[in-house]
């Protein structure tokens, strides 16, 4: 059930990447160091039991946020709280282990995220070894069998290697591995974008069932708005590393406020669209190394004015959700 206490709180999170040329080139060509702000001042919270989705096109920083939250990258600025505890000051020892086991990640490509030289039993058993060292190998094997059954595979599949499975089955193994540590929170980075639609439907249904069964909280990263609509309670729309809009799934699709969200929704090809005339979509995402000043979306925005070109809009409450748009704030849009 959805309650209002946040499990994950992300506060003014930023991450820069150094994309400078080598030192000698910089000296010769007299250029400065260059940075990409992949994630820029992002704030959101995820309540227990809900699914928050982050959508965005390539380069919007959605995968970087996923990596920051699970600790695969360190933030440049800002902080992440998990169940009230800050993850900023590098956690140590037992505390880190207790906290880390509570969040797990499912990656996009099940062909790359499973060790090809390990049997499935060992892949799923590894988190058990790390987090539940007390188990005997027999108990561990039994538990792996249960996990495999849970994700719709059979316990006998444990002796196989990843290459013996299809893409969808491999993603099931990855889900079983994530569940092995009995987590509360799972970060899913494009979990179905490498899969065919009929298999995608199986995996999405499985994830929903598991969420209901174990009361899991999901951060769901995707570029596909239709999938997001199906999975998420709340949705955050990212554009060039900043949140453009955060709203309830229903509100976002019924009444998108930010011009970028509207454009995205117009752009999605849909089965219902046959023969319908669509609105024209203009422009492409600018280069993140040198983003436009002010609101990053202003060069593509039909409502942009002088203020949009100068001042970066903050994420503000608009009555039904949050938008980072001067036009919405001023009531122009």
Residues binding another protein (CB under 8 A)? 57-58, 166, 168-169, 196-202, 204-205, 208, 223-227, 229-230, 253, 263-276, 278, 280-281, 284-285
Q: Which of 204, 175, 219 has the alpha carbon at shortest distance from 47?
A: 219
Work out how close the CB of 225 gets to another protein at its nearest, in angstroms, rounded to a whole number. 7
Work out how close the CB of 256 gets to another protein at its nearest, in angstroms, rounded to a whole number. 11
Work out how close the CB of 231 gets to another protein at its nearest, in angstroms, rounded to a whole number. 8
Alpha-carbon torsion 25, 29, 31, 37, what sign? negative
Work out how close the CB of 135 gets to another protein at its nearest, in angstroms, rounded to a whole number. 33
Cα distances (Å, whole numbers) of residue 329 to 66, 244, 317, 323: 29, 13, 9, 8
Q: Which residue(s) pair with 234 in the sheet?
A: 52, 248
Q: Which residue(s) pair with 82 in the sheet?
A: 8, 85
| Residue ranges in the chain assigned as alpha helix (H) | 23-29, 62-70, 93-100, 120-131, 137-150, 167-180, 197-214, 225-231, 249-254, 259-267, 306-310, 326-330
Q: Which is nearer to another protein, 70 or 203 (CB)?
A: 203
Q: Which is nearer to another protein, 169 or 217 (CB)?
A: 169
Q: Which is nearer to another protein, 88 or 278 (CB)?
A: 278
Work out how close the CB of 201 gets to another protein at its nearest, in angstroms, rounded to a whole number. 3
> What's the DSSP call for residue 11?
E
Rounded Cα distance, 82 and 86, in Å: 6
Q: Which is nearer to another protein, 155 or 167 (CB)?
A: 167
Rounded Cα distance, 219 and 199, in Å: 21
Q: Which is nearer to another protein, 104 or 249 (CB)?
A: 249
Work out how close the CB of 81 gets to another protein at its nearest, in angstroms, rounded to a whole number. 31
Rounded Cα distance, 71 and 215, in Å: 23
Q: Which of 12, 14, 8 has the alpha carbon at shortest distance from 241?
A: 14
Q: Which is nearer to another protein, 57 or 122 (CB)?
A: 57
Work out how close the CB of 164 gets to another protein at its nearest, in angstroms, rounded to a whole number. 12
Q: Which is nearer to another protein, 196 or 311 (CB)?
A: 196
Are 10 and 51 in contact by the 8 Å Cβ rule? The answer is no
- Burial grade of 236 (CB within 10 A; 0-12, 13-18, 19 or more): buried
């Amino acid at each position: 059930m959805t309650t209002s206490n946040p499990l994950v709180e992300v506060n003014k999170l930023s991450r820069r990447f150094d994309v400078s040329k080598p030192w000698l080139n910089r000296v010769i060509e007299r250029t400065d160091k260059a940075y990409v702000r992949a994630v820029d001042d992002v704030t959101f919270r995820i309540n227990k039991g809900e699914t928050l989705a982050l959508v965005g096109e390539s380069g919007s920083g959605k995968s970087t946020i996923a990596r920051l939250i699970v600790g695969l990258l360190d933030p440049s600025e800002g902080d992440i709280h998990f169940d009230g505890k800050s993850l900023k000051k590098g956690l140590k020892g037992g505390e880190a282990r207790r906290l880390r086991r509570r969040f797990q990640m499912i990656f996009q490509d099940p062909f790359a995220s499973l060790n090809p030289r390990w049997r499935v039993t060992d892949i799923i058993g590894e988190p058990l070894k790390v987090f539940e060292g007390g188990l005997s190998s027999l108990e561990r094997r039994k538990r792996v069998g249960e996990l495999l059954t849970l994700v719709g595979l059979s316990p006998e599949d444990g002796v196989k290697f990843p290459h013996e499975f299809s893409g969808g089955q491999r993603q099931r193994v990855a889900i079983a591995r994530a569940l092995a540590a009995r987590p509360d929170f799972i970060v899913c980075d494009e979990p179905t974008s490498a899969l065919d639609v009929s298999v995608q439907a199986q995996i999405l249904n499985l994830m929903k069932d598991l969420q209901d069964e174990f009361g899991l909280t999901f951060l769901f990263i995707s570029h596909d708005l239709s999938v997001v609509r199906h999975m998420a309670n709340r949705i955050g729309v990212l554009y060039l590393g900043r949140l453009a809009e955060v709203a309830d799934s229903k509100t976002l699709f019924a009444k998108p406020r930010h011009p970028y969200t509207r454009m995205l929704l117009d752009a999605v090809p849909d089965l219902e669209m046959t023969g319908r005339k669509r609105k024209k979509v203009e422009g492409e995402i600018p280069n993140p190394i040198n983003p436009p000043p002010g609101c990053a979306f202003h060069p593509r925005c039909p409502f942009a004015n002088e203020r949009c070109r100068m001042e970066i809009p903050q994420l503000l409450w608009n009555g039904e959700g949050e938008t980072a748009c001067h036009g919405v704030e001023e009531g122009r849009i």
